[in-house]
Amino acid sequence: MTIKSTFVADYAMRVLARFICVAVLSVAFFIPCAQAQLRAGVAKAVITPDVHKNAVYLAGFGHNRVATGVHDDLYARCLALGAGMDTVALCSVDVIGLFYDDVLKIRRQVKAQAPEVSYLIVSCTHVHAGPDTLGLWGPTQLQTGINENYLDWLDSQIAATAVEAFRSMRPARMELSRDDHPLLGLLQSVGRPPFVKDPYLFLMRLTAAGSGEPIATLVNWSDHPETLGRKNTEITADYPHWLCQYVENQLGGTAVFVNGSIGKVSSLGSEVALQDPQTGEIAPDGTWRKAELIGTTIGQLVQRALASPEPANVDSIAIRKSVLFVPLQNDRFRIAGGAGVFAGRKPLYSNGALDRSSVEREVPGVGKIQFSTGQDLQTEAGYVQLRSRGRVVAEIAAIPGEIYPELTNGGITRYPGADFPDAAFEPTLRAHLKSKYQFILGLANDELGYLIPKAEWDDKPPWLLNKPERWYGEVNSPGPDVAGVVLRALVALIQQN
């Protein structure tokens, strides 16, 4: 297991700024040194596939779920923030997820068109009614659901949208807000112990510095967009569609929703009970009305929280990332890789080098298949600080998967039946963050799968709390050690000076 860290620092620019200030003051002491002006730009583009041209396999529930129509469009939404010489572009994409290889490809395209962009984050909303961009939901278990022509086009659309956001940047004012209204947790259903949620809403509003014209609203909340359930065969962005629509209608500008700590957190279930004001009845699972009510309810909470925001005079941005090699301990992923399910977009590595080796294995009920033998997955943890006069006023943590909320908020618990009952607890992410405004982005720059505390890992019977069947989670996780690798890397980035 290897961790390779790189630090994109703003130190040199600060030294240069101080030198310039000293030079100016030595000539005319009455001229103040100007702070770097925050700049912001935003763009969005439709990324809905053509369901009539080719079969579009819908991601998220089961195999061979083919789209029959489009209820509402999917979007790539990109926000660009710049201060001094540093620019971060943050893109939110209405798909189930994107692998790191796709993100690297998108970055290369952005760099070719806008080399001034310092760092690009691509975060996926994880919608369960969009095209299969990971390959796991094709016609059968060992047939990919990826349409490579569409996925290549999607990558280019994301890159073009990021470049458009960058080119539209202008002097801006930033306002921040957060909320912990009880509804934020009540709209989250957690089906596995410990029943920890991530019931927080973090917001960033950007307006034009001179006119006050709305530019964008960044919204960070946590919940699986799967309200329509497995029976739905129409493409939809699920509740984020209505959330973004409400925010844009009420506040203006472009809404950019980024999902957070969504491991085991769902919009399905009787726990998420929303009364339809039109009928007085509880909106049931699998209905458009429930998805609409979740989206508009969160939108109303966004509007409520932004009624009394805190101004943030951001004048510098610090960008840090770690490229990681995490151990792949899930043979299901090796079988899928060997069978071509990932369409070559999730390669394995050994000792830091690309390893496409495989061996032939006999799989019960399937027959002989190729089994990928590389040791690790390459991925990335990212961290961004927004600063005002050296003080951290907001942070963005980019997590390459679906992290369990107890890893971000605390509450890891030891239960009988766990495979590693004495495992050390991973660091709690929010306990290490430095600001009041903590934007935690799940499925950011990669989709590793579930990030599960090792002490709660349960892939072998007896099951946690003597449950008669396995808990859901481990089947779609790289392994019990991955959460620790990612979180320790993030904490190291946070603690850098």
**Could you report the per-residue pLDDT of 72-110, keeping only the tens digit for each?**
999 999 999 999 999 999 999 999 999 999 999 999 999
Distances (CA, A) of 125 to 70, 106, 222, 224, 312: 18, 17, 10, 8, 26
Euclidean distance between the first and the last CA atom of the chain, given in angstroms as a whole number: 25
pLDDT for 270: 76
> Is residue 279 exposed (0-12), middle (13-18) or buried (19+ Cβ within 10 Å)?
exposed
pLDDT for 403: 99
Percent share of the chain, pLDDT over 90: 90
Query: What are the residue ranges in the chain where pLDDT is below 70?
Result: 1-35
> Is residue 106 exposed (0-12), middle (13-18) or buried (19+ Cβ within 10 Å)?
buried
Q: Which residues contact 390 (CB under 8 A, 6 or more apart)?
A: 316
Contact 39, 169 (CB under 8 A): yes
- Which amino acid type is present at position 304? R
pLDDT for 35: 57
pTM of the predicted model as reported, rounded to 2 decimal places:
0.92
